Amino acid sequence: MRKSILALVMSGLLATGSVVSCAGPEPTEGTASPETTASAPAATALPTDRVDQVAPADARAITDPADPQATLVLFTDYQCPYCAMMDPLIQQAKNDYGDQVRILVRNYPLPKHQNAETSARAVEAAAEQDALEEMAAAVFEHQEEWKNQTDVEDLFVSYAGDLGLDTEKFRADYNSDAIKDRVARDLQDSQDLQLPGTPSLVLDNQVLALDSVDYSAIQEQLDKALNN
């Protein structure tokens, strides 16, 4: 199922030539459709005083080398199909650059997505048991199963169980104020930074605008940052 969904999304992107993202809130007049942003420059610099909003000290790390030469931050929405396509590319970047690049992941649950906030809480709750990446993969894989459901907690608990997590702890963390506050803070930071949509990639304070989901597009930017 996941492969067929991604294939449909990919075919649409190839036809439109659009940047891969679910558009953020309140698109301005003349922009592309609500689901896909139009072509954009290769990168946009963020103000230097916003660094702490991009990569706070407690951000979840996918890679955390002792002496990072660059920092890549992914802002993701687990209900966004384009974020599902980005996930394996980030895993590839982890494999290729994990000893040089610090890779962080933060939540950008778009308000227009019914279960973006709850799915972010599910991944954050799993992260409390060192299973962030595993839960992210699970929620992306089953996106069609939960995205339109009105009560998703038990589904997410079942995914946690499939991963061998302590489901009682998972449920408690999922409903905790600490996890809700973390997701809310990530969303506020994403909005304050005026990120265009999801997924958004920020490399050393530069918001990248990639024209495809090709791994080579991310690789090119990372190589440039590392002067490879």
* Lowest-confidence region among 15-19, 57-61, 66-70, 224-228: 15-19
Taking residues 210-222, report their average pLDDT: 83
Going by C-alpha positions, the residue among 106, 94, 105, 107 that lies closest to residue 65 is 94
| C-alpha to C-alpha distance for 70 and 54, rounded to whole angstroms | 13
Question: Rounded to whole angstroms, how far apart are CA atoms 132 and 68?
Answer: 21
Q: What is the pLDDT of residues 119-141, one digit of tens each?
A: 999 999 999 999 999 999 999 99
Cα distance between residue 21 and residue 1, in whole Å = 21
Put simply, whether the predicted model's pTM sits higher than 0.75 gets the answer yes
64: Cβ contacts below 8 Å, ≥ 6 apart? 102
Q: What is the pLDDT of residues 73-107, one digit of tens each?
A: 999 999 999 999 999 999 999 999 999 999 999 99
pLDDT of residue 176: 98
Q: What pLDDT score was predicted for residue 46?
A: 86
The domain defined by 2-226 folds into: Glutaredoxin (3.40.30)
